[in-house]
Amino acid sequence: MATVNDHYLKLKAGYLFPEIARRVNVFTDANPDAKIIRLGIGDVTEPLPEACRTAMIHAVEEMGDRTTFKGYGPEQGYAWLREKIATHDFQSRGCDIDASEIFVSDGSKCDTGNILDIFGNNNIIAVTDPVYPVYVDTNVMIGRTKGMNEKGEYEGLVYLPITAENNFTASIPSEKVDLIYLCFPNNPTGSVATKEHLQAWVDYARANGSIIFFDAAYEAYITDASIPHSIYEIEGARECAIEFRSFSKNAGFTGTRCALTVVPKTLTAKASDGSDVELWKLWNRRQSTKFNGVPYIVQRGAEAVYSEEGQAQIKALVSFYLENAKIICEKLKAAGLSVYGGINAPYVWVKTPNGLSSWDFFDKLLHTTNVVGTPGSGFGAAGEGYFRISAFNSRENVNEAMKRMSHLMSV
Residues in touch with ligand PLP (CB under 6 A): 42, 107-109, 132, 183, 187, 215, 217, 246, 248-249, 254, 259
Backbone angles phi, psi at 106, to 5 degrees: -95, 10
When the beta carbons of 107 and 373 are compared against ligand PLP, the nearer one is 107
Taking the complex as a whole, the smallest distance from the CB of residue 27 to ligand PLP amounts, in Å, to: 26
Least gap, CB of 69 to ligand PLP (angstroms) = 27
Distance CA 23, CA 35 (A): 15
Shortest reach from residue 393's CB to ligand PLP, in Å: 15
CB of 399 to ligand PLP, least distance (A): 24
Beta carbon nearer to ligand PLP, 42 or 342: 42
| Between 90 and 181, CB nearer to ligand PLP | 181
Q: Distance between CA atoms of 112 and 396, rounded to whole angstroms?
A: 34
Cβ atoms 366, 296 nearer than 8 A: no
Q: Can you give the three-state secondary structure of the chain, one letter per residue? A: CCCCCHHHHHCCCCCHHHHHHHHHHHHHHHCCCCCCEECCCCCCCCCCCHHHHHHHHHHHHHHCCCCCCCCCCCCCCCHHHHHHHHHHHHHHHCCCCCHHHEEEECCHHHHHHHHHHHCCCCCCEEEEECCCHHHHHHHHHCCCCCCECCCCCECCEEEEECCHHHCCCCCCCCCCCCEEEEECCCCCCCCCCCHHHHHHHHHHHHHHCCEEEEECCCHHHCCCCCCCCCHHHCCCHHHCEEEEEECHHHHCCCCCCCEEEECCCCCEEECCCCCEEEHHHHHHHHHHHHCCCCCHHHHHHHHHHHCHHHHHHHHHHHHHHHHHHHHHHHHHHHCCCCEEECCCCCEEEEECHHHCCHHHHHHHHHHHHCEECEEHHHHCHHHCCEEEEECCCCHHHHHHHHHHHHHHHHC
Smallest gap from Cβ 246 to ligand PLP, in A, equals 3
Nearest one of 70, 49, 67 to 59, comparing CA atoms: 70
Nearer to ligand PLP, 249 or 300 (CB): 249
Q: Which is nearer to ligand PLP, 108 or 268 (CB)?
A: 108
Q: Give min distance, CB of 20 to ligand PLP, in A.
A: 16
Residue 359 neighbours by CB distance under 10 Å = 18
Residue 310 beta carbon to ligand PLP: minimum distance, rounded to whole angstroms: 18
Residue 363 CB neighbour total at 10 angstroms: 14
- Beta carbon nearer to ligand PLP, 287 or 370: 287
Q: Which is nearer to ligand PLP, 101 or 106 (CB)?
A: 106
Closest-by-Cβ residue to ligand PLP is: 107
Sign of the CA dihedral 276, 213, 168, 157?
A: negative
Q: Least distance from C-beta 265 to ligand PLP, angstroms?
A: 23
Q: Which is nearer to ligand PLP, 215 or 303 (CB)?
A: 215
CB nearer to ligand PLP: pick between 109 and 238 = 109
Q: Cβ closer to ligand PLP: 263 or 337? A: 263
Closest distance to ligand PLP from the beta carbon of 254 (Å):
5
Minimum distance, C-beta of residue 1 to ligand PLP, in the bound complex (Å): 35
